[in-house]
């Protein structure tokens, strides 16, 4: 048996959580240490994963080219006359689509753990929940069995509810329950589609119904259930249900209203996790589940998806521009930037898709950094009002440096990573639909507008006298959390090909797979 | 084997043990007055004997007592369920401070628990309308008394009175419905009635048809009252709130299960075409009973969930939540295929662990702080960490989030519905789940997100027995959320019923 690296990545935080729970709650330093070491080791394993990953293997729908496969029977119920066989597997594997997300999750978790040191209210509970959340996120990106995927997907909800609800800002209760209800409403739709797919799919090897997503991607395995007729109305509704489930997570307008509340009320580290990893689950789910399992509707709904992308970009940017609260501004900018991901994947070509996945990774790092920066300022000034600041540049030069890196990356300045992914997105989208792509570039202008304006309001001008003595520059601990992100942003901006190489094979395969399957189903529909 | 009284009695041993337990407990109560807990011990021992006898009865399917009672895997499942619940409730009752304080003659209480359990095992097997009626009455009368047992407590007496009135009316209706059916079909035996209907007599038209409809609807009212389905649910919140909490838990779990046993048997044996392996069993006899039940199911879950949102008393909230759960369970009856019925059975197993766990915590807390009000749970998570985590897990399980047993129950139940023409019902049910999250999360919010109103954050110390019990309920809730293979196998093996023509 090979080394179970994905299981370790996924369940290491649970081990950390158990240790945290066993430690006396007074020993906060030890608890923090456990969390940082756990997530640090996770990063080490993620680095090992990068080293061992073979970027020539496509994965997506082929089990033979998935990597680090761990597959065991979990629940097997033999056939009874009227139920068929139940087959649920513990099936973890990654490919070029999930690999960047796994690395991102490990990285962001570590950085968020470091950034959580400023938490001093029930530290034990905080880190226990934090580590549980980490397991949920990692599991979502590693799971290939849909049942397992769903368990991890839902596992995150409760810790997130408590992390926002207990350690959040003044309106935390409202934000926490809103997040919980929105996400659950999405995931129950996912649950229904999952059950439907289960009854439709037969594992060719065993003849049993299966939750294996790879088996679901092959039309010939779809035998008798409700989703078996390619192109049928019920499959369209399933695609729409899945879209809503994932769109809530992304969030796509008009399902986005939980996000500004949750981001603003959550403590800094949790905003980092939310923006850095959780939002990616939505787009990841679309690429992992919606596109390959319902390819005909991925193509059919290509244009609407693109328009959703456009709306997200422009609407998010306009809302960001109107904000007076620093954190809320970053929250809306997230909506805008996730719009690029949607736009890129709707392009359904390899450039757009690569841009989308790369943008998922870059947005993870850039927005994480932005939220950390907001946190730095808030920890000192205890306010986030943009109009209350000015002239911070002189007072906190190192802080200003990091801010410049993050802001310009968010704007999409060449030589920073955000530029590369946005360029790919536009490159791909332009080939598919010129009109909406050109309109979407408006987002770049607006992005530059609100970012530069924010920079001007906070860092330029004269420092109000009330901040004279309360704004020391960033501490070494804050640098530990900011510097790796800045380094990655610059590195991938200058030399993106290492990262791109990991994903292009898989994404190229995904695009061709979706297109050929969709064409095949078109031919099938014509023939009927 | 020809069916005789003596062979029937041989197959009736667990029930006989329960009946003898009831008698022994009564004698005990006369002989050793004032030693009520001793009576409790006798009842517990009797339940243990009945449970031990269960594996020795054949699984059937067979008819015993001239078809009055069916012995089949389906009834065996419910008998196990009811007896185990009875044991748990007796153990809870030993711990309850409420009973110690307000119930002066606790021995009688235990006697009626035995009678109630006996009645429910009869309900599990009853295959004749008369037997169904007798069993339901036995259960009903015992529970009226038990609901009002703490008679010095005003709301308990009120609960008992309301319960009696509702119960009397609905059992009267049911009896009238049965008489109509008897008049039409010439038999009270479910299997015979099925044969009459299947042969397609002129019952599907004209006045006969109308009479049959009235009869079945009246019976449905009686059964709906038992499982607290909307619109027959009005007694539930008051009784659940007023009765001693052990009895509330008993009614919410075992009595509901027994009600479902009768309901499922009544519909599947009488009206559904049992010889189809399709994913939904269609009803013959001219009425789409599946649809009628579906409407009932939607009404029950929606009303239960939406009213639960406004409740501040946890017992009352759990009452509405149990109405909502009855709605989910009805979905399995709507489909009524083997997978639907198996899903109902599985859901009951999960429901047993999550609901009894939740009621137990409410009981333990009420004993400690004297309140069931949601505001008194503020800061509870910090004041009592283990019990708090336990309660949180039970509530999550009731909501149906993984990795808990409640999720698995819902998954299997929704699966049965998605795999049938009633997909829309599954959609309604999952949206209901989202609503239910809101009120369960209200408790979580108070426990963890808010500080106590009076600022008292001193730890609440529970006795070790309480903490151990809570942990014992946590384990299955998590375990069965991750590994449910044996349970599914068991429930799948338990759907076989005594069928027409068998």
pLDDT digits (tens, 9 = 90+) for A5-50: 889 899 999 999 999 888 888 888 898 999 999 999 999 999 998 8
Which residue of chain A comes nearest to B481, CA vs CA? A151
pLDDT of B274 > 80? The answer is: no
From A175, A172, A194, select the one nearest A242 (Cα to Cα).
A194
From A157, A165, A107, select the one nearest A136 (Cα to Cα).
A157
The whole-number pLDDT of residue B67 equals 81
Own/partner pairs for A65-74, CB < 8 Å, 24+ apart?
A65/A95, A66/A93, A66/A94, A66/A95, A66/A144, A66/A214, A67/A93, A67/A94, A67/A95, A68/A2, A68/A5, A68/A6, A68/A92, A68/A93, A68/A94, A69/A93, A70/A4, A70/A6, A70/A7, A74/A145, A74/A148, A74/B483
**B478 close contact with A: CB closer than 8 A:** no
**B411 close contact with A: CB closer than 8 A:** yes
In a mutagenesis test of the A interface, which of B445, B478, B491 is the best target, namely the one with the most A β-carbons within 10 Å? B445
Q: Which residues of A touch B382 (CB under 8 A)?
A: 122
Q: Which residues of B touch A191 (CB under 8 A)?
A: 411, 414, 430
pLDDT of A77 > 80? The answer is: no
Which residue of chain A comes nearest to B424, CA vs CA? A192
From the CB of residue A170, how many other CB atoms can be counted at a distance below 10 Å? 9
A81, A155, A177 ranked by CB distance to B277: nearest: A81
Average pLDDT over residues A349-362: 92
pLDDT of B202 > 70? The answer is: no
pLDDT of B280 > 60? The answer is: no
The whole-number pLDDT of residue A82 equals 55
Task: Check the CA dihedral B29-B31-B37-B41 and report its sign.
Answer: negative
Q: Report the C-alpha gap between A103 and A97 in whole angstroms.
A: 11
**B273 close contact with A: CB closer than 8 A:** no
- Report domain extents, chain B: 278-502
> Do B488 and A181 lie within an 8 Å CB cutoff?
no
The answer for residues whose C-beta is within 8 angstroms of residue B169's C-beta and 6 or more apart is none
Q: Are B305 and B429 a contacting pair, CB within 8 Å?
A: no
pLDDT of B489 > 70? The answer is: yes
% of chain A residues with pLDDT over 70: 97
Q: Which residues of B touch A155 (CB under 8 A)?
A: 402-403
Average pLDDT over residues B30-56: 87
Q: Which residues of B touch A199 (CB under 8 A)?
A: 415, 418-419
Range name among A401-410, B57-66, B122-131 with the lowest pLDDT average: B57-66
Instruction: Calculate how close chain B gets to A528, using CA atoms only, in Å.
Output: 24
pLDDT of B464 > 60? The answer is: yes
The whole-number pLDDT of residue A525 equals 61
CA dihedral A345, A347, A352, A356 (to 10 degrees): -20
Q: Which residues of B touch A76 (CB under 8 A)?
A: 485
> Do A76 and B444 lie within an 8 Å CB cutoff?
no
From the CB of residue A519, how many other CB atoms can be counted at a distance below 10 Å? 13
Average pLDDT over residues B338-361: 91
> Do B426 and A192 lie within an 8 Å CB cutoff?
yes
Q: Are A342 and A309 a contacting pair, CB within 8 Å?
A: yes
Q: Which residues of B touch A198 (CB under 8 A)?
A: 415
The whole-number pLDDT of residue B113 equals 93
| B119 vs B6: which has the higher pLDDT | B119
The answer for residues whose C-beta is within 8 angstroms of residue B240's C-beta and 6 or more apart is B159, B248, B251, B252, B315, B316, B318, B319, B322
Which residue of chain A comes nearest to B381, CA vs CA? A125
In the stretch 330-359 of chain B, residues with CB closer than 8 A to chain A read 337-339, 342
Span A161-210, pLDDT tens digits: 999 988 888 888 899 999 999 999 999 999 999 988 888 888 877 777 88
* pLDDT-derived band at A406, boundaries 50, 70, 90: very high
* pLDDT-derived band at B281, boundaries 50, 70, 90: low
The single residue listed with the structure tokens 């997978």 is B339
Range name among A265-269, A441-445, B285-289 with the lowest pLDDT average: B285-289
> Do B449 and A154 lie within an 8 Å CB cutoff?
no
Q: Which residues of A touch B414 (CB under 8 A)?
A: 191-192, 195
Instruction: Calculate how close chain B gets to A278, using CA atoms only, in Å.
Output: 18
Number of CB pairs, chain A paired with chain B, less than 8 A apart: 91
Q: Which residues of B touch A86 (CB under 8 A)?
A: 488
When mean pLDDT is compared over A464-478, B50-64, B381-395, the highest value belongs to B381-395
Span B67-77, pLDDT tens digits: 888 888 899 99
The whole-number pLDDT of residue B491 equals 87
- Whether the predicted model's global pTM rises above the 0.90 cut: yes
**B407 close contact with A: CB closer than 8 A:** yes
| B400 vs A228: which has the higher pLDDT | B400
Average pLDDT over residues B370-395: 89
| B36 vs A198: which has the higher pLDDT | A198
> Do B415 and A82 lie within an 8 Å CB cutoff?
no
Average pLDDT over residues B117-138: 92
Instruction: Calculate how close chain B gets to A298, using CA atoms only, in Å.
Output: 23
Average pLDDT over residues A368-374: 91
> Do A196 and B483 lie within an 8 Å CB cutoff?
no
Instruction: Calculate how close chain B gets to A99, using CA atoms only, in Å.
Output: 25
pLDDT of A397 > 90? The answer is: no
> Do A177 and B438 lie within an 8 Å CB cutoff?
yes
The whole-number pLDDT of residue A83 equals 57
> Do A151 and B485 lie within an 8 Å CB cutoff?
no
Mean pLDDT of chain B: 87
Tell me which DSSP letter residue B252 carries: I
The whole-number pLDDT of residue A278 equals 92
A81, A189, A195 ranked by CB distance to B418: nearest: A195
**B449 close contact with A: CB closer than 8 A:** yes
The whole-number pLDDT of residue B502 equals 47
Span A205-261, pLDDT tens digits: 777 788 888 888 887 777 777 777 777 888 889 999 999 999 999 889 889 899 999
Which residue of chain B comes nearest to A195, CA vs CA? B415
The whole-number pLDDT of residue B278 equals 54
> Do A76 and B485 lie within an 8 Å CB cutoff?
yes
The whole-number pLDDT of residue A388 equals 84
Q: Report the C-alpha gap between A275 and B225 in whole angstroms.
A: 50
**B457 close contact with A: CB closer than 8 A:** no
End-to-end CA distance of chain A: 48
B277, B438, B483 ranked by CB distance to A75: nearest: B483
B337, B437, B484 ranked by CB distance to A184: nearest: B437
In the stretch 367-396 of chain B, residues with CB closer than 8 A to chain A read 382, 396
A82, A157, A196 ranked by CB distance to B418: nearest: A196
The whole-number pLDDT of residue B317 equals 92
B430, B448, B488 ranked by CB distance to A86: nearest: B488
> Do B414 and A191 lie within an 8 Å CB cutoff?
yes
Average pLDDT over residues B452-464: 84
> Do A166 and B448 lie within an 8 Å CB cutoff?
yes
The whole-number pLDDT of residue A331 equals 92
> Do A165 and B401 lie within an 8 Å CB cutoff?
no
Structure tokens at B454: 């009076």
Interface of A with B (CB under 8 A): 74-77, 80-83, 86, 122, 150-151, 154-155, 157-158, 161-162, 165-166, 172-173, 176-177, 180-181, 184-185, 188-189, 191-192, 195-196, 198-199, 225-226
Span A16-28, pLDDT tens digits: 999 988 888 888 8
Instruction: Calculate how close chain B gets to A25, using CA atoms only, in Å.
Output: 12
Average pLDDT over residues B44-70: 86
B396, B430, B441 ranked by CB distance to A188: nearest: B430
> Do A75 and B484 lie within an 8 Å CB cutoff?
yes
Range name among A298-302, A310-314, B351-355 with the lowest pLDDT average: A298-302
Which residue of chain B comes nearest to A224, CA vs CA? B419
pLDDT of A526 > 70? The answer is: no
Tell me which DSSP letter residue B280 carries: S
pLDDT of B36 > 50? The answer is: yes
Average pLDDT over residues A59-69: 81
Average pLDDT over residues A313-321: 92
Mean pLDDT of chain A: 88
Alpha helix segments (H runs only) across B96-232 = 97-102, 106-125, 129-147, 154-185, 190-198, 206-226
The whole-number pLDDT of residue B30 equals 85
> Do B485 and A150 lie within an 8 Å CB cutoff?
no
Structure tokens at A231: 């192109």
User: Does a cis peptide bond (omega within 30 degrees of 0) precede residue A498?
Assistant: no
% of chain B residues with pLDDT over 70: 95
Q: Which residues of A touch B402 (CB under 8 A)?
A: 150-151, 154-155
Which residue of chain B comes nearest to A183, CA vs CA? B434
Alpha helix segments (H runs only) across A385-441 = 392-395, 397-411, 417-432, 434-440
The whole-number pLDDT of residue B251 equals 92
- Per DSSP, chain B holds a count of helices (H) and strands (E) of 22, 2
> Do B430 and A189 lie within an 8 Å CB cutoff?
yes
């Amino acid at each position: 048996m090979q080394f179970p690296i994905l299981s370790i990545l996924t369940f290491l935080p649970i081990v950390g959580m158990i240790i945290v729970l066993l430690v006396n709650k007074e020993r906060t330093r030890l608890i923090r240490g456990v969390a940082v070491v756990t997530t640090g080791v996770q990063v080490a394993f993620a680095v090992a994963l990068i080293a061992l990953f073979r970027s020539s293997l496509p994965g997506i729908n082929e089990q033979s080219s998935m990597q680090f496969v761990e597959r065991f029977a979990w629940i097997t119920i033999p056939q009874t006359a009227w139920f068929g066989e139940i087959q649920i597997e513990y099936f973890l594997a990654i490919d070029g689509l999930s690999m960047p997300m796994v690395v991102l999750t490990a990285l962001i978790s570590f950085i968020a753990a470091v950034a959580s040191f400023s938490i001093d209210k029930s530290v034990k509970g905080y880190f226990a929940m934090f580590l549980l959340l980490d397991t949920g996120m990692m599991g979502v990106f590693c799971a290939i069995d849909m049942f397992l995927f769903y368990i991890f997907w839902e596992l995150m909800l409760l810790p997130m509810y408590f992390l926002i609800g207990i350690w959040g800002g003044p309106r935390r209760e409202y934000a926490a329950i809103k997040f919980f209800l929105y996400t659950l409403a999405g995931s129950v739709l996912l649950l229904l589609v999952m059950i439907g797919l289960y009854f439709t799919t037969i594992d060719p090897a065993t003849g049993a119904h299966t939750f294996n997503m790879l088996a679901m991607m092959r039309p010939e395995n779809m035998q008798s259930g409700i989703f078996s007729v390619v192109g049928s109305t019920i499959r369209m509704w399933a695609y729409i249900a899945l879209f809503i489930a994932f769109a809530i997570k992304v969030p796509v307008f008009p399902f986005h209203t939980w996000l500004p509340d949750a981001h603003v009320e959550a403590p800094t580290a949790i905003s980092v996790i939310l923006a850095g990893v959780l939002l990616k689950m939505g787009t990841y789910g679309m690429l992992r589940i919606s596109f390959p399992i319902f390819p005909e509707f991925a193509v059919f709904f290509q244009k609407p998806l693109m328009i959703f992308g456009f709306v997200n970009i422009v609407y998010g940017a306009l809302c960001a521009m109107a904000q007076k609260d620093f954190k809320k501004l970053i929250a809306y900018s997230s909506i805008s930037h996730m719009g690029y991901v949607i736009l890129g994947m709707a392009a359904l070509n390899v450039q757009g898709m690569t841009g989308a996945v790369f943008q998922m990774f870059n947005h993870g790092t850039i927005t994480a950094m932005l939220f950390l920066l907001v946190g730095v300022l808030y920890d000192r000034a205890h306010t986030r009002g943009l109009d209350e600041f000015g002239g911070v540049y002189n007072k906190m030069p190192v802080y200003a440096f990091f801010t410049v890196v993050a802001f310009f990356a968010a704007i999409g300045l060449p030589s920073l990573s955000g530029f590369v992914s946005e360029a790919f997105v536009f490159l791909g989208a332009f080939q598919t639909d010129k009109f909406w792509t050109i309109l979407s570039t408006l987002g770049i202008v607006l992005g530059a507008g609100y970012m530069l304006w924010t920079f001007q309001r906070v860092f330029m001008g004269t420092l109000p006298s009330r901040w004279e003595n309360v704004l020391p520059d960033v501490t070494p601990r804050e640098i530990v959390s900011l510097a790796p992100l800045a380094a990655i942003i610059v590195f991938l901006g200058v030399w993106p090909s290492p990262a791109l190489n990991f994903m292009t094979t898989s994404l190229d395969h995904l695009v061709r797979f979706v297109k050929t399957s969709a064409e095949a189903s078109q031919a099938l529909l014509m023939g009927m | 084997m020809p069916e005789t009284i003596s062979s029937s009695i041989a197959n009736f041993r667990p029930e006989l043990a329960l009946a003898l337990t009831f008698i022994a407990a009564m004698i005990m109560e006369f002989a050793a007055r004032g030693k009520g807990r001793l009576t409790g011990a006798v009842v517990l021992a009797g339940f243990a004997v009945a449970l031990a006898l269960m594996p020795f009865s054949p699984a059937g399917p067979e008819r015993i007592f001239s078809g009055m009672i069916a012995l089949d895997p389906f009834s065996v499942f419910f008998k196990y369920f009811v007896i185990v619940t009875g044991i748990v409730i007796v153990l809870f009752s030993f711990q309850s401070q409420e009973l110690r304080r307000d119930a002066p003659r606790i021995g009688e209480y235990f006697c009626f628990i035995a009678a109630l359990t006996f009645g429910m095992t009869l309900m599990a097997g009853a295959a004749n309308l008369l037997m169904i009626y007798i069993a339901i009455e036995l259960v009903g009368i015992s529970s009226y008394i038990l609901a009002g047992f703490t008679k010095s407590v005003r709301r308990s007496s009120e609960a008992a009175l309301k319960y009696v009135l509702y119960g009397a009316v609905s059992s009267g209706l049911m009896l009238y419905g049965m008489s109509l059916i008897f008049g039409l079909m010439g038999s009270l035996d479910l299997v015979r009635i099925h044969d009459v209907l299947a042969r397609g007599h002129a019952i599907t038209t004209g006045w006969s048809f109308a009479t049959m409809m009235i009869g079945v609807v009246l019976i449905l009212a009686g059964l709906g009252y038992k499982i607290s389905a909307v619109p027959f649910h009005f007694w539930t919140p008051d009784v659940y709130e007023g009765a001693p909490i052990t009895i509330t838990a008993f009614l919410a779990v075992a009595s509901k299960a027994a009600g479902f046993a009768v309901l499922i048997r009544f519909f599947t044996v009488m009206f559904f075409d049992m010889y189809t392996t399709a994913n939904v069993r269609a009803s013959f006899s001219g009425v789409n009973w599946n649809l009628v039940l579906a409407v009932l199911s939607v009404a029950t879950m929606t009303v239960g969930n939406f009213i639960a949102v406004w409740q501040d008393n946890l017992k009352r909230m759990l009452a509405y939540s149990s109405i909502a759960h009855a709605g989910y369970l009805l979905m399995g009856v709507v489909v009524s295929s083997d997978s639907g019925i198996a899903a109902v059975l599985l859901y009951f197993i999960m429901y047993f662990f999550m609901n009894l766990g939740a009621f137990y915590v409410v009981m333990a807390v009420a004993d400690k702080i004297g309140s069931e009000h949601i505001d008194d749970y503020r800061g509870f998570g910090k004041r009592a960490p283990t019990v708090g985590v336990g309660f949180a897990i039970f509530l999550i399980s009731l909501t149906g989030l993984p990795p808990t047993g409640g999720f698995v129950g819902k998954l299997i139940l929704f699966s049965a519905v998605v795999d049938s023409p009633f997909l829309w019902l599954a959609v309604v049910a999952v949206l209901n789940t989202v609503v239910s999250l809101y009120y369960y999360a209200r408790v979580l919010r108070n426990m963890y997100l808010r500080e106590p109103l009076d600022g008292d954050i001193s730890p609440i110390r529970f006795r070790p027995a309480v903490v151990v019990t809570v942990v014992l309920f946590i384990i299955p809730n998590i375990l069965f959320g991750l590994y449910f293979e044996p349970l599914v196998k068991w429930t799948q093996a338990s759907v076989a019923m005594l069928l027409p023509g068998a």
